[in-house]
């Protein structure tokens, strides 16, 4: 695993949207005002974003693709690619606002790709061809078996479905984060992101205590026991928790995604945790809320 520090200047904030290939800068960079709310919940749930654009003369239609980018000063990166699934337009305090409900599904992954390659073609070459045709970024590729298709390679299928078949055929696994594809066959090599008050942490993480059953509380009271909640109890409870153990608040960091590993340094928790849920607000007050599981 690689450790990544999140050290960055807190200001100036920098964000922009890319809507169907056209860049829209924020008001800090001479553009328009827009607010963004992002939620990524659960392992199998699709992430959502709400984008509020003020006084944009062009209409953003359902089906449009929006790339959300944010960061600080020069350290700005793409957080995710979304598709507009619903829209609303209204007037508020003299502003005309387009409210866009967006799904994390990328048009690139759902795009039908038509490919035909003659001659001997390896699995790795077919994967690269599908990624290129769909506009997917192949970040890493580790195949257990790079097979040769002696009769050539042909496909007419959604990019994500075709990639899954090719990766399975190579005895490997894949993770698709936004528009980035990671292929591995042993263990997914996650980067570890260091998070502390020096690098964007806003508050000490809040422990999520497991709620005791009412009968257990009554039984303890009857016995006159008043057990203190020591660190060892918390650690044991953390292991039993199904979803998450701590709530973490930090400045928005564009490369923290669901599933990433964090090395947290704080007064309430020091150690490794995996990101399970994310909420991001790019409004007047920028903030990122994480639900993490101790690992």
Greatest alpha-carbon span in the chain: 80
Q: In terms of Cα–Cα distance, which of 53, 52, 86, 6 is closest to 255?
A: 6
What pLDDT does 233 receive?
52
pLDDT band at 163 (very low <50, low <70, confident <90, very high): very high
Q: What is the rounded average pLDDT for all residues in the chain?
A: 84
Tokens, residue 55: 């006084």
pLDDT band at 214 (very low <50, low <70, confident <90, very high): very low
pLDDT band at 114 (very low <50, low <70, confident <90, very high): very high
Phi, psi for residue 184 in degrees, rounded to 5? -150, 160
The whole-number average pLDDT for the span 47-66 is 94
Q: How far apart are CA 80 and CA 87, in angstroms?
A: 19
How many other C-beta atoms can be found within 10 angstroms of the C-beta atom of residue 53? 23
pLDDT band at 262 (very low <50, low <70, confident <90, very high): very high
What pLDDT does 241 receive?
46
pLDDT tens figures, 2-43:
666 555 445 688 999 999 999 999 998 899 999 999 998 765
Q: How far is CA 188 from the centre of its chain?
A: 16
Higher pLDDT among residues 176 and 112, named by residue: 112
pLDDT reading at 266 higher than 50: yes
pLDDT reading at 217 higher than 60: no
pLDDT tens figures, 119-148:
999 999 999 999 999 888 898 898 999 999
Higher pLDDT among residues 17 and 47, named by residue: 17
Percent of the chain with pLDDT over 90: 53
Percent of the chain with pLDDT over 70: 81
Per-residue burial over 200-213, b = 16 or more CB atoms within 10 Å of its CB, e = otherwise: bbeeebebbeeeee
What pLDDT does 211 receive?
46
Higher pLDDT among residues 10 and 206, named by residue: 206
What are the distances in angstroms from CA 118 to CA 134, 143, 161, 220, 223? Answer: 20, 22, 22, 74, 79
Q: CB-side exposure of 97: number of CA atoms within 13 Å?
A: 16
265 burial class (0-12, 13-18, 19+ CB within 10 angstroms)? Answer: middle
What pLDDT does 261 receive?
86
Q: Is 215 helix (H, G, I), strand (E, B) or coil?
A: helix
């Amino acid at each position: 695993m690689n450790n990544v520090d999140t050290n960055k200047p807190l200001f100036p904030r920098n964000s922009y949207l890319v809507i169907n290939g056209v860049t829209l800068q924020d008001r800090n960079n001479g553009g328009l005002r827009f607010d963004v709310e992002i939620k990524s919940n659960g392992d199998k749930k699709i992430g959502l974003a709400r984008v509020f654009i003020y006084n944009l003369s062009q209409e953003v239609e359902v089906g449009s693709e929006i790339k959300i980018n944010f960061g600080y000063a020069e350290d700005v990166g793409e957080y995710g690619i979304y598709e507009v699934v619903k829209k609303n337009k209204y007037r508020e305090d003299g502003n005309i606002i387009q409210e866009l409900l967006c799904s994390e599904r990328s048009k690139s992954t759902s795009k039908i790709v038509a490919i035909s390659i003659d001659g001997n073609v390896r699995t790795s070459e077919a994967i690269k061809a599908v990624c290129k045709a769909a506009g997917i970024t192949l970040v890493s590729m580790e195949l257990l078996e790079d097979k040769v298709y002696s009769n050539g390679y042909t496909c007419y299928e959604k990019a994500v479905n075709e990639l899954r078949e090719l990766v399975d055929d190579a005895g490997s696994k894949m993770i698709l984060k936004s528009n980035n594809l990671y292929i591995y066959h042993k263990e997914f090599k996650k980067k570890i992101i260091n998070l502390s008050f020096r690098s964007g942490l806003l508050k000490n993480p809040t422990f999520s205590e497991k709620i005791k059953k009412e009968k257990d509380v009554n039984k303890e009271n009857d016995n006159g026991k008043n057990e203190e909640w020591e660190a060892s109890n918390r650690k044991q409870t953390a292991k039993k928790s199904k979803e998450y153990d701590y709530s973490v608040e930090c400045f928005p960091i564009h490369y923290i995604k669901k599933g990433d590993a964090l090395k947290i340094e704080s007064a309430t928790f020091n150690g490794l945790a995996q990101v399970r849920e994310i909420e991001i607000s790019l409004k007047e007050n920028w903030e990122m809320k994480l639900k993490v599981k101790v690992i």
